[in-house]
């Protein structure tokens, strides 16, 4: 855990400009290293979706060592063992998917904190400098660890006031795609009426004095989200950003291509350049 980076993020958020970050899904730690070299405020390593394993997660965390970039890990589900292992690796906090009740969020906070405030176990791993700084880490961790829920369902939205009342939580993320699915629009980023509902949730979070984040889908959407009052802005997701840039380059070269869900390449006409 990098307490200095967490303090820096809190200072940025307190001064009101958005804190910019990157959502990371690819296994190469160079992705995080590049984001850190550009001075982003935070990254989320997504271990809920995709194929990142523990080796990959640790490599991404190491890519941000001794920087002021906060590293959060999105766990697959709320499990005490997953939370403990992520924090032992040295992440600065956890992102918990699909939180829908205050009870769930209270458990997440408890899993992330040492007794008597929680139930996190003490290990001689990277977070404690391999057992050499157990006392220091134990003294700092509870006040600095970030527990970040994602509100991505209608039920979660209905519980937002109760979620915001849970002590130890200062940041929320919204998940438009899953929210849309629970509203009956699976496959759409923001189905009919969803954009408006998400802004209501964001306003509630801000009204409670908390910060609210979201992933931007384009450069123009990044500006739009800032104008809407989101305070943590992901400039994008690494995989989609790379894929769209390849498509754009091919189109500019006169070779427009489209992805297919089967990942089969498109047939090229004979004689094409």
Helix (H, G, I), strand (E, B) or coil at 80: helix
Encoding tokens for residue 244? 């769209």
The answer to whether residue 144 is catalytic is no
- Report residue 78: phi and psi, to 5°: -80, 100
For the residues of 177-204, what is the DSSP string, one character each? HHHHHHTT-TT-SS-TTHHHHHHHHHHH
CA atoms within 13 A on the CB side of 40: 24
Maximum distance among all Cα pairs of the chain, rounded to whole angstroms: 72
What's the CA gap between 19 and 234, in Å, rounded?
9
The residues, any chain, with a CB within 8 Å of residue 255's CB and separated by 6 or more, are: 272, 273
First to last CA, the chain: 52
Block residue for tokens 């940025």: 12
Give the active site residue among 49, 144, 211, 252: 49
Helix (H, G, I), strand (E, B) or coil at 68: coil
3-state secondary structure 137-177: HHHHHHHHCEEEEEECCHHHHHCHHHHHCCCCCCEEEECHH
Residue 66 · residue 33 · CB < 8 Å: no
**So which residues are the catalytic ones?**
49
């Amino acid at each position: 855990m990098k307490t200095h980076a967490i303090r820096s993020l809190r200072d940025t958020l307190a001064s009101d400009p958005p804190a910019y970050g990157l959502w990371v899904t690819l296994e190469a730690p160079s992705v995080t290293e590049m984001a850190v070299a550009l001075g982003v405020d935070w990254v989320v390593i997504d271990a809920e979706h995709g194929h990142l394993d523990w080796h990959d997660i640790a490599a991404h965390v190491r890519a941000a060592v001794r920087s002021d970039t906060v590293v959060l890990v999105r766990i697959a589900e709320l499990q005490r063992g997953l939370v403990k292992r992520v924090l032992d690796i040295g992440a600065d906090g956890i992102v918990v998917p699909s939180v829908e009740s205050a009870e769930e969020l209270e458990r997440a906070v408890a899993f992330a904190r040492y007794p008597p405030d929680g139930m996190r176990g003490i290990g001689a791993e990277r977070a404690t400098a391999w057992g050499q700084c157990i006392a220091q880490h134990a003294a700092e961790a509870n006040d600095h660890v970030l527990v970040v829920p994602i509100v991505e369902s209608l039920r979660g939205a209905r519980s937002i006031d109760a979620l915001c009342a849970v002590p130890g939580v200062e940041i929320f993320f919204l998940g438009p795609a899953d929210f849309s699915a629970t509203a009956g629009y699976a496959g759409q980023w923001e189905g009919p009426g969803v954009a408006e509902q998400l802004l209501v949730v964001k306003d509630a979070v801000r009204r409670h004095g908390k910060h609210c984040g979201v992933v931007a889908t384009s450069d123009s959407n990044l500006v739009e989200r800032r104008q809407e009052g989101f305070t943590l802005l992901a400039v994008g997701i690494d995989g989609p950003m790379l894929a769209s840039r390849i498509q754009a380059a091919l189109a500019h070269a006169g070779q427009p291509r489209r992805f297919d869900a089967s990942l089969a390449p498109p047939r090229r006409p004979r004689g094409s350049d």
